[in-house]
Structure 1
Amino acid sequence: MESFEEKVCVFMDEHSYHSNESELHASLEDLCLSEQQSSDSEEDSPQRILYWDSQVALLQEILERYNITGSKLRQEVGRIINKIKASDFCSCLKPNSHNCITCLRRRVATVLSDRGITTNLCMSKWKSTHKVPGGSHEYIEVIASTSTRKRQIRFLIELELKEQFQIAKAGEEYQKIVSCLPEFYVGKAEYLTAIVRVVCDAAKKSMKKKKMHLAPWRKNGFMQMKWSGFNQTYHHHHIQQASESNMGFSRAPNAVVAVN
């Protein structure tokens, strides 16, 4: 069996890092699947410890690579989120308006758009199958450019990444995995796919240890659908415009986002 170091070297390889999107996706898929397959037969205590340690290390390795690309955009989104949260941003009049993720998401998309960044508010929708229950999920998509303007990169923005994986009855090992996740995600779809696979496999392992059923909406297949290509995309001009003057944001049309 390959060592953990041999598995992650596929991900760390410089050629893989600079390769095209399909090659990156394939490397991440092979890496995560090999970890999941090896975990199914590990039931005794030493192997469980090895499993959880390797899952934490694997997730941290993916997050390190995720943090390399899009750091400037990620920092900008973080500043926007903090500034919006400090204002009276909810317009839907819900009881817990200070935690209204729908209004927060739309305001973030509006601010990014008003700064000249190509921004789409996306809704993934899928029907029920015998394996996956139907559902829908809203997220933000940004088309960023490299500093030389030679290449455009698609980034997904999920404002509640960590919240998506909270399971109250899961074990301490799983909670440690979730604690490694950032509060919000700004990055390539390939990294998000890899993160979801690792965390969902950990959820399955944790609930199995507790002899509890893992709900279908917690499984990898369902979670992956949230940011899938089965979506309707709404451009920013369909979003109700935020009151920029009240939040202190300034418009900057035709801005170019440097992804590094």
Structure 2
Amino acid sequence: MDSLEEKVLSVFMDEEFSKGPNSNRSLEDYELEDGSDCQERTSYWESQEAMLQEILERYNSTGTKLREEVGRIIEMAKSFDFCSCLKPNSSDCSNCLRRQVVVLLCERGFQANLCISKWNHTKKFPGGSHEYIELMASTSTTKKKIPFLIELELKEQFQIAKASTEYWELISWLPEFFIGKPDYLTAIVRVMCDAAKISMKEKKIHMGPWRKTGFMQMKWSSGFTQKLTVDEPFDRPDSCLRISVAVT
């Protein structure tokens, strides 16, 4: 039988629920204008905030000890002179920081991988790639190890120019780092992308395909994988590359 957590999470993953209480209406049905104070607009933003808060409550209620420990390791990595680029910039080098975090996780006995999701250009979406960390961990409910995703730049993924006040309020609710199961991240992406669409419509700004839910979800996708050593190049054509860092 599914656990209570799994049942609740399945609700968040449902397409109809992700549209909010007015799920029988398309987002385009809202006649939102800049500065509008209509009841539908207020109801929409209140529903998005309520959904995001409930997702985050469920997210925070699982894997708490693991999240705290990984959080300490991330802060420790940030205190090091971790940047090894040709033009070092330790205060703003997310690529080197991710590698440093993986090294420290492995040193402490975690099974951690640096993942690179890559996708080709299509008529629907532009090509691209994204790096994140995958941590294999067990939970109190199962001994089988399950993947936890670590995204060091969660808020940055959803920032848009000239966003509405309500959209920035949603961003403020997001944790600085995401450390949790992929399903929770998928639920967050759906809420934030729906909200971004409305915010940009209010501001009469075109929404690029890279802001849409399908594109955003590809950033943390899994597909064909290949394990590499940390010294190997990262410009491989694979859909997803996993770099396993061996600590000696």
Q: TM-score over 0.5 for the alignment?
A: yes
| Contact 2:59–2:180 (8 Å) recurs in 1 | yes
Report deviation, 1:168: 2.2
Take 1:131 and 1:148, find their aligned partners in 2: how far apart are those partners?
40
Q: TM-score, normalised by structure 1?
A: 0.78
| Contact 2:63–2:139 (8 Å) recurs in 1 | no
- Determine which of 1, 10, 13 is the counterpart of 1:28: 13
| Contact 1:123–1:139 (8 Å) recurs in 2 | yes
In the alignment, does 2:223 pair up with 1:239? Answer: no
Report deviation, 1:160: 0.5
| Contact 2:20–2:44 (8 Å) recurs in 1 | no
Cα RMSD, aligned residues only: 2.4
Unaligned runs of 5+ in 1: 1-13, 241-252, 254-260
Q: Secondary structure at the match of 2:122?
A: coil
Q: Secondary structure at the match of 1:120?
A: strand
| Contact 1:126–1:230 (8 Å) recurs in 2 | no
Structure 1 residues 116, 206: closer, same or farther in 2, change over 3 A?
Answer: same
Take 1:75 and 1:50, find their aligned partners in 2: how far apart are those partners?
35
| Contact 1:80–1:108 (8 Å) recurs in 2 | yes
Q: TM-score, normalised by structure 2?
A: 0.82
Aligned length: 223
| Contact 1:36–1:201 (8 Å) recurs in 2 | no
> Quick one: higher RCO (CA 8 Å, sep 6+), 1 or 2?
1
Unaligned runs of 5+ in 2: 33-37, 232-246
In the alignment, does 2:119 pair up with 1:129? Answer: no
Report deviation, 1:183: 0.9
Take 2:123 and 2:213, find their aligned partners in 1: how far apart are those partners?
15
Whichever residue aligns with residue 71 of structure 1, its letter is: T
Residues 208-217 or 189-198, more deviating: 208-217
Whichever residue aligns with residue 222 of structure 2, its letter is: G
In the alignment, does 2:1 pair up with 1:17? Answer: no
Structure 1 residues 35, 159: closer, same or farther in 2, change over 3 A?
Answer: farther
Aligned to 1:245: none
More helix per residue: 1
Take 1:221 and 1:67, find their aligned partners in 2: how far apart are those partners?
25
Report deviation, 1:57: 0.7
Aligned to 2:182: 189
| Contact 1:125–1:231 (8 Å) recurs in 2 | no
Pairs within 5 Å for 1:21-170? 24-25=9-10, 27-30=12-15, 31-33=17-19, 37=23, 38=25, 40=27, 41-43=29-31, 45-94=38-87, 96-147=89-140, 150-170=143-163
Whichever residue aligns with residue 209 of structure 2, its letter is: P
Runs of 4 or more, structure 1, over 3 Å off, are 23-27, 33-39, 230-235
Take 1:207 and 1:55, find their aligned partners in 2: how far apart are those partners?
15
